[in-house]
Amino acid sequence: MASIIDGNVIAAQVRASVASTVACLNADGITPGLAVILVGDDPASHSYVTMKERDCQEVGIVSRDLRRSADISQEQLESLIDECNNSPEIHGILLQLPLPSHLDAEAAIARIHPSKDVDGFHPVNLGRLLRGLPSFRACTPWGIMKMLDHHGVELQGKEAVVVGRSTIVGKPMALMLLERNATVTVCHSRTHDLAAVCRRADILVAAVGRAHMITEEFVKPGAVVIDVGINRTEAGMVGDVDFARVEPIASAITPVPGGVGPMTRAMLLSNTLDAASGPRSE
């Protein structure tokens, strides 16, 4: 039976550390500020942004709520981003994705100044990660690294498989694991015999967005299984991993909900703190 890697517990520790440092910055006259740009009426995005704003309030970060209607133009959106770039009271900018289909998300992300890119999506920050330089790191894979460290998972020399190749999770996840001397395979929709590749993994990260895709036939006995998936079904929220079938053979596993999700939000707070006080190289 697997140990449960509890994201809520680890995220609470991150938030407590951030709150302590924010209090020290306040004493020096600095109040970290996060601009949250939300376009349109996507219910999941609204719910997620509300949780992020609640987290900010808990740790003492000022969250500036910038909600705009779905018919905003690209020019208007980029002008709003420019205002945030130029505001000394805003240290981090969160552009909630996805954007309505008529907007160019890549252009909007690139418009954010790299020093305020607390999501870690800007090409400059992704490039710095690739070169092993200090940068803002994408919150979900950065949070997963913190979870693995907290649980004492050894990465050096281990075989890691990442299922999913997005620039938000899969690719930066692979780079962070490589940085820690894991041997990394990135899988995708055209991977032949996906289950066989996954069964090689000592650390398996599932980030494909397909409910219960990863079953016991994908998992090597004793593997550490990280479930990034958030899939809303009639039965409620479930992950990419079929927890009931995989948990008995894994050595450690993250639940959904209560696993990676809270850590993603916690690392956003950590990145915003870095933006206010200067990026850390850890």
Please identify every residue annotated as catalytic: 52, 96, 119
Compute the distance between CA of residue 135 and CA of residue 223 in angstroms, rounded to an integer. 30
CA distances from 182 to 126, 135, 186 (A): 19, 20, 12
Nearest C-alpha neighbor of 240 from the set 211, 269, 277: 211
What is the 8-class DSSP label of residue 277? H
Choose among 244, 242, 193, 250: nearest CA to 219: 250
Strands 231-233 and 236-238: antiparallel
Sequence-distant (6+) residues with CB within 8 A of 249 are: 2, 216, 219, 221, 222, 223
Q: Which of 219, 227, 235, 223 is nearest to 258 (CA)?
A: 227
